[in-house]
Each structure stands twice: as structure tokens, then as C-alpha cells.
């Protein structure tokens, strides 16, 4: 997919704010390995994005055809094995992220970027809607030079075309250790769809996203 195609896709979709602050907290992570999934043997690839609350981000990427898994977690901080409570304090330096394992034969990195930029506001520094803090920053963690090149090229093109009213502040940096979030954060929307938060915050965003990306969703 060309840079121009990505830009057109974002313009036609429009962007929306990510979800508000999660209410639950836990002191102990269920998985402290912090290791990236081993996907090389299956010829899969990995991408990691931070765009506010990871409940919304996970649901969005999980819906796309070609995405094998989308795992909520933390990246970009200094403290090993951070807990959700610690990350929410804003003192660890981590961002809430979703690590996406995908089949490059079925979905391109460019399309993942299109979904990323279209599904949150990349112009607000350390903030998404009511979520305020560095843990909610807009960030792309690149796993190789190619990803970094593509991300920077598209970001520059979006800025030059004035796709967004304000300057894009999305950080593009090298991926570090990924720490999966506590189990109750995983597949949150799918498992808690009847909760008020999911009904009134996540569901409207998902409906808009699915309408715009209808030809790219899992069957």
C-alpha cells in the first residue's frame, strides 16, 4: 500500500478520541516474561502501538483480517515488570500499548498504521480524551528499520498534507521490552461487552471503525 493510499484512507474515515480511563487495577502482573512472541517460524510479524487506553486499541486491531493476536501491555519505560497501578501513576515511563502479531501476506504494516492513525487523536500530547499522562501518549514502537522508515514517511506526509488540524505529536521510536498487562485487561471488550464502559465508550468507536474498514475485517 502506498503512502497516498494510507492518507486517503485516514481522510475518508476521520479520527476519533480513544477511550477513557480504566477503572480496575491490580498489583501483580500475570505474565512477567516481557518477551516478544516468537513469530519467525510461522513467518509472522510484530507491530506495537500506543494510542491511549489499550482496551480500545486492542479491540480495533483484533478485528482486522490478518491479525493473529493483539495483546495489551506496557512498553517504553524504565521499571522492569511494571504493574498497571504503577504505569497509571505515570512514574515508570511506560505507555499503554498493544502488541500486534500479524500475517504480512494478509495485512500490510501500512494498513496497520492507517488503523492506528485513524482510531485516535495523534495531535494531543500525552493525552487521549479524558486520559491524561505520558502512559497515554501516541507512540509507534518500531521492531525494525523498515517499520521506522515507513512510519516516519507516512507521518511526514500526513503533516505536509494537513490531514489533521493540529500538528501530529506521535512518537516514533525503537521497540523495547514488552510487558503483557494483567489478564483482566486482555480481550476486555470481548469479555465485558455488556459493561457500561464498553457500551458507551468502546462500542461507538468500534461501530464507526468497522463501518469505515468493513472490507478489511475478519469474517
* 3-class DSSP assignment, residue 8: helix
DSSP string, 69-116: EEEEEEES-SSSS--HHHHHTT-S--EEEEEEEE-TTTS-HHHHHHHH
Classify burial at 16, counting beta carbons within 10 Å of its beta carbon; exposed 0-12, middle 13-18, buried 19 or more: middle
User: Chain-centre distance of CA 195, in angstroms?
Assistant: 22
Predicted pLDDT at 18: 39
Domain boundaries, the chain: 3-13+34-216
Can you list the positions of beta strands (E) in the chain? 45-51, 67-75, 95-102, 127-128, 131-132, 138-142, 171-174, 179-180
Architecture of the domain defined by 3-13+34-216? 2-Layer Sandwich (3.30)
Predicted pLDDT at 136: 94
Report the alpha-carbon distance of residue 193 to residue 58 in Å, rounded: 13
Predicted pLDDT at 7: 53
Predicted pLDDT at 140: 98
Specify which residues 47 forms β-bridges with.
Answer: 100
Report the alpha-carbon distance of residue 173 to residue 143 in Å, rounded: 9
Report the alpha-carbon distance of residue 104 to residue 198 in Å, rounded: 30
Predicted pLDDT at 149: 98
Q: Which residues of the chain have pLDDT under 70?
A: 1-42, 189
| pLDDT, tens digit (0-9, with 9 covering 90-100), for 14-63 | 544 434 444 344 444 444 444 444 555 569 999 999 998 899 899 999 99
Contact between 104 and 40 under an 8 Å Cβ cutoff? The reply is no
pTM exceeds cut of 0.85: no
Report the alpha-carbon distance of residue 218 to residue 2 in Å, rounded: 22
* Strand 127-128 relative to strand 131-132, pairing: antiparallel
Q: Mind telling me the catalytic residues? A: 53
Amino acid at each position: 500500500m502506498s503512502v497516498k493510499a494510507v492518507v486517503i484512507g485516514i481522510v475518508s474515515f476521520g479520527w476519533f478520541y480513544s477511550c477513557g480511563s480504566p477503572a480496575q487495577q491490580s498489583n501483580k502482573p500475570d505474565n512477567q516474561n516481557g518477551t516478544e512472541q516468537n513469530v519467525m517460524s510461522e513467518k509472522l510479524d510484530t507491530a506495537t502501538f500506543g494510542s491511549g487506553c489499550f482496551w480500545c486499541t486492542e479491540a480495533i486491531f483484533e478485528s482486522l483480517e490478518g491479525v493473529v493476536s493483539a495483546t495489551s501491555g506496557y512498553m517504553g519505560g524504565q521499571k522492569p515488570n511494571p504493574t498497571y497501578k504503577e504505569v497509571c501513576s505515570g512514574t515508570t515511563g511506560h505507555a499503554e500499548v498493544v502488541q500486534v502479531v500479524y500475517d504480512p501476506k494478509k495485512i500490510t504494516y501500512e494498513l496497520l498504521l492507517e488503523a492506528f492513525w485513524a482510531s485516535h487523536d495523534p495531535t494531543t500530547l500525552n493525552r487521549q480524551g479524558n486520559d491524561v499522562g505520558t502512559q497515554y501518549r501516541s507512540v509507534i514502537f518500531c521492531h525494525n528499520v523498515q517499520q521506522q522508515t515507513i512510519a516516519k514517511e507516512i507521518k511526514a506526509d500526513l503533516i505536509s498534507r494537513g490531514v489533521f488540524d493540529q500538528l501530529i505529536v506521535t512518537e516514533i521510536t525503537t521497540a523495547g521490552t514488552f510487558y503483557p498487562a494483567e489478564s483482566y485487561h486482555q480481550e476486555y471488550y470481548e469479555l465485558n461487552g455488556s459493561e457500561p464502559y464498553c457500551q458507551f465508550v468502546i462500542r461507538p468507536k468500534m461501530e464507526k471503525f468497522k463501518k469505515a474498514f468493513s472490507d478489511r475485517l475478519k469474517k
